[in-house]
Structure 1
Amino acid sequence: NCRCTTCRVEFVSGEPDKMTQAEKDKLAERGLTGVRLSCQILCDHDMTVRAISRLEGSGRPDPGPRPEPEIHPQPVVWVEK
């Protein structure tokens, strides 16, 4: 849902050229560069990522629920990153 940014990842290879407008806006709002939000990525080809936000040291008691298999709400606009 692109609200919390706890699903941040760094791409090692295969980064998609497009992102949702919501992801682009949230990353800009938080001043986050060089990262993507895994909850907003459409996995339609091989890609390798490095998890940035990890449970250890986060203060969170558990990793939370498994992400939905589809992006919700459906992206209105896909934009160039």
Structure 2
Amino acid sequence: MPNVTVFGQGTFEVEEGKKLVLALEDNGVNILHRCGGKAKCTTCRVEVMAGEFCDLTNVEKKAFSEKGIEDHLRLSCQIRVNADVTVRPIMTVENSGLETGPRPAE
């Protein structure tokens, strides 16, 4: 099983193929996902510090372009964990004061 390391918080194993946003949430990271994982709000974005995910999806490119967000980030609702990775969540309950939002679908 792949390991997800969250910068400053620790490492945990996740089932291969699991959405990163759900892996984070299920392991105590209060990452935002205000739109419920539909790639509309961009609040679930993460910086990938180590490891590899596929290239940005067209959905991510469009969302980032519309919101003026740097393209080196990824939307955790749009990627699946298939190998070890280290990420830094950009927006969390703790640093934003917002509620997480509806749980994204598997």
- TM-score normalised by the chain length of structure 1: 0.70
8 Å CA contact 1:9, 1:35 repeated in 2: yes
Say what the alpha-carbon RMSD is for the aligned residues. 1.6
8 Å CA contact 1:19, 1:40 repeated in 2: no
Distance 2:52 2:65 in 1: 18
Give matches, 1:2-81, under 5 Å: 2-33=39-70, 34-60=72-98, 62-69=99-106
Distance 2:82 2:105 in 1: 16
Q: Which runs of 5+ in 1 are unaligned?
A: 70-81
Q: Which runs of 5+ in 2 are unaligned?
A: 1-37
Q: Percent identity?
A: 47
Distance 1:48 1:57 in 2: 19
8 Å CA contact 1:19, 1:41 repeated in 2: no
Q: In the TM superposition, what whole-angstrom CA distance separates every residue of 1:11-55 from its partner, at most 9, and x where no partner exists? A: 111131323211111112212112111001121111111011011
Query: Aligned AA for 2:45?
Result: R
Distance 1:15 1:28 in 2: 22
Moved more, 26-35 or 46-55: 26-35
Name which structure has the greater RCO, CA cutoff 8 Å, separation 6+. 1
Aligned-partner SS, 1:23: helix
